[in-house]
Amino acid sequence: MRKLVLYTFLIYINFSNGYSQFGSVNIDFDYRLLRSDEQQDLINLKDDIKRFFINTNWDNDYSDLNIPLNVQIIFEGSSAKGNVKTYLCKAFFSNGSDLRYFDNAVQFYYSSGSNLYFDLVLFEPLSGFLAFYAQLILAGEIDTYSYRGGNKAYEIAREISLRGTSSEYQKGWLTRTATADHLSSNTGLRLARLNYFTAFELFQNGLIEESVEAYEKMFKGIEQSYFDYGREKNTQYFMKVHSSQIAKVFQLLGRKSFLERMLDLDPDNQETYQASLDVISK
């Protein structure tokens, strides 16, 4: 079983290569809408962002998560006020699995040669923006270890967004506050994700009865999410990503009733479940 640990978030984040929660970090830029001199100004930004995610100690106890992170930033324009150049962007963050977040209203300034660091009290647009999504990804990951384990990370994300809302760079922060609140309050999805990963690990370890019990709890979580939010996009995406594995495990378990429940809960992937159900029925 994955080791469940108690954890304490650091309000002031320190840099340490020994405490990396993020493993491989892939950064992709699309700055075709910027002038060539503006693109040159951003030449070091990819490396700065990568170091920011990897070298920051986001959590003092979960130091070996090694979360893969994909970040795409699409630059749409810039504006200058004095010596400060502000960039307008869209951005996409993903752990390469069932956590993904798109932001269409990003605003920050950047000066090549300046280090990115995160301080929860002293708000800075770029590091605050990156830290906000780092906390969302981290919260989702920790949620797979204990129920509502990501609460502290969601609270920090919300605090960042509130400081952004009251800053000079307010663009998009009200929406980010709502995003953090929604993800935190979707207890059904959080329950489903925890028990999905727990059930699969139990299945791999040959603990079939315990695995079946965890899958039952996964069902309850999905049903609760539907009851609270209807066909909510994060829950839909969770099932889309994991539908093939869910169907395969239920097929190996010979659980026709489980596959039939997934047909009702996840009609978008009904072909996947039906194929496994057909195998059992032969």
pLDDT in tens, 210-234: 999 999 999 999 999 999 999 999 9
Between 112 and 35, name the one with better pLDDT.
35
| pLDDT, greater one: 19 or 279 | 279
Confidence of residue 3 (pLDDT cuts 50, 70, 90): very low
The CA distance from 234 to 225, in Å, is 10
In this predicted structure, what is the pLDDT of residue 9?
30
Average pLDDT score, the chain: 91
E strand or H helix at 264: helix 256-265
Judged against a pLDDT cut of 70, whether residue 144 lies above it is answered with yes
Specify the pLDDT at position 84: 85
pLDDT of residue 191: 98
Among 87-96, 115-124, 137-146, whose mean pLDDT is lowest? 115-124
Residue type, 251: Q
Alpha carbon distance 39, 137 (integer Å): 28
Helical (H) or strand (E) element with 92: strand 84-94
pLDDT digits (tens, 9 = 90+) for 77-101: 999 877 889 999 999 999 999 999 9
pLDDT above 70 coverage of the chain, percent? 93
Q: Reply yes or no on whether the pLDDT at 72 is more than 50.
A: yes
**Rounded distance between C-alpha atoms, residue 207 and residue 103, angstroms:** 41
The whole model's pTM is what? 0.91
Q: State residue 16's pLDDT score.
A: 37
Distance CA 239, CA 235 (A): 6
Q: What Cα–Cα distance (Å) separates residue 48 from each residue in 65, 71, 113?
A: 21, 13, 9
Mean pLDDT of 137-163: 96
For residue 13, the model assigns a pLDDT of 32
Predicted confidence (pLDDT) per residue in 12-63, tens digit: 333 334 457 999 999 999 999 999 999 999 999 999 999 999 999 998 878 7
Model confidence at 1, pLDDT cuts 50, 70, 90, reads very low
Euclidean distance between CA atoms 57 and 72, whole angstroms? 22
Helix-strand-coil split of the chain, %, nearest 5: 55, 15, 30
Q: What is the pLDDT of residue 19?
A: 55
Give the pLDDT confidence of 232-278 residue by residue, as tens digits: 999 999 999 999 999 999 999 999 999 999 999 999 999 999 999 99
